[in-house]
Structure 1
């Protein structure tokens, strides 16, 4: 088989040399990466490309490709390749293009599941409550049960209302489901306000005990702001109340995390608060989804603001009726 020198020169000048990685270099012999044609082309002087910068190397290669010695190429064109069985093996002309680590030992191969395993370990460590005291862990998780009970009750009532036939559902009638729904909604909002106030009061107890030092108004402010944000939600419509409490739980979790990093709380408090906030947030989202399914069929329960507005409008109407009656009495008296 003949191979012209022009093709060899073009391939050497235009194609960057393939460099094996460290792992492949240990597994594959140097014969796989160098070709010995036993011709004069192997004796050409080579420029020190490795010492040049990448841009300079590309320019030199392009220059060599443009300047071709035609006489030398004619000489190379007439040259025949001589067989060299001693340097030829079953793998001397094979390149593992399927994978660069094809010849690496099994112990050095890349673990393709390492990323997934790392994510699983991160999730496990995030929800790990082994450092939390047993009593606090049990009572804290039990405190989330009322939230889940009201959320699942909301979803059940919404499902009964949407799937009722002629006013009758599978477990209860549509009217009963709507009445139960109007009972569950204020219970969930009121319970959320209580929990938010309790979480803020924890920082007052830590300040009283001097845990992590005494920080004064900075730590007292947490216990003051929490109920100031929580209790106005009992006057809001359900959707706005739940969204406000969701944001309040998230913000209070962030504050508790920063307090843990500063040493104001026990080291396990940040993970403990994350798990509880995650569960409460999931319950709030479930309630919002269930309530949204029947927003067009069930009206909301009149809140305190609606009652105050009703009393004000009723007082104005009664005052107008009294004035009208007084004028009619005065006209009748004048006659």
Structure 2
């Protein structure tokens, strides 16, 4: 695994943890709500980014595999829908989206579309993300 991928992956978990802490332990209802908004909006950005990873991998091929591009486009659509739903259902849908992308990461790696190290990076990061999303859904201000 490239060192920079690991460093950036770990760094990407920090906003999830910080937003979750704000949503769960903020000193006022406004701060807890701000933490929730920060969590779901950052989650939507990251979920969209993960779809873009797959789109980028597909675009490197000739001819471009349309089905893989369409699959990659599902991630930002799920992220947008999670934002639109908001509150508990939005967080749950976003968690399902992260699990779905992880499953697709594993399939893509087995088919040689992504590097072999990629799922080893994604497993723990998805775990942190799921804990954050589901903790706020269960215990947070919404």
Do these two structures clear the TM 0.5 threshold for a shared fold by scoring above it?
A: yes
User: Is 1:148 matched with 2:22?
Assistant: no
User: 2:115 is matched with which residue?
Assistant: 266
User: Is 1:209 matched with 2:60?
Assistant: yes
- C-alpha offsets along residues 309-329 of structure 1, whole Å, 9 cap, x if unaligned? xxxxxxxxxxxxxxxxxxxxx
8 Å CA contact 2:24–2:32 kept in 1: the answer is no
Question: The residue matched to 2:99 in structure 1 has which SS?
Answer: helix
Relative CO higher for 1 or 2, CA cutoff 8 Å, sep ≥ 6? 2
Q: 1:196 aligns with which of 39, 43, 47?
A: 47
8 Å CA contact 1:207–1:214 kept in 2: the answer is no
**Larger helix proportion, structure 1 or 2?**
2
Q: 1:245 aligns with which of 94, 98, 115?
A: 94
Show structure 1 runs of 4+ deviating over 4 A: none
Give the count of matched residue pairs: 142
Cα distance in 2, alignment partners of residues 287 and 214 from structure 1? 43
RMSD between superposed Cα atoms in Å: 1.7
User: 2:71 is matched with which residue?
Assistant: 222
User: 1:23 is matched with which residue?
Assistant: none
User: 1:181 is matched with which residue?
Assistant: 32
Cα distance in 2, alignment partners of residues 231 and 134 from structure 1? 31
CA shift, 1:215, in A, is: 5.3
Q: 1:279 aligns with which of 113, 117, 128?
A: 128
TM-score (norm: length of structure 1) = 0.40
Cα distance in 2, alignment partners of residues 182 and 153 from structure 1? 8
8 Å CA contact 1:239–1:288 kept in 2: the answer is yes
TM-score (norm: length of structure 2) = 0.91
Unmatched tracts of structure 2, length 5 or more: none
User: Is 1:133 matched with 2:2?
Assistant: yes
CA shift, 1:290, in A, is: 2.5
Unmatched tracts of structure 1, length 5 or more: 1-131, 158-171, 295-299, 301-335
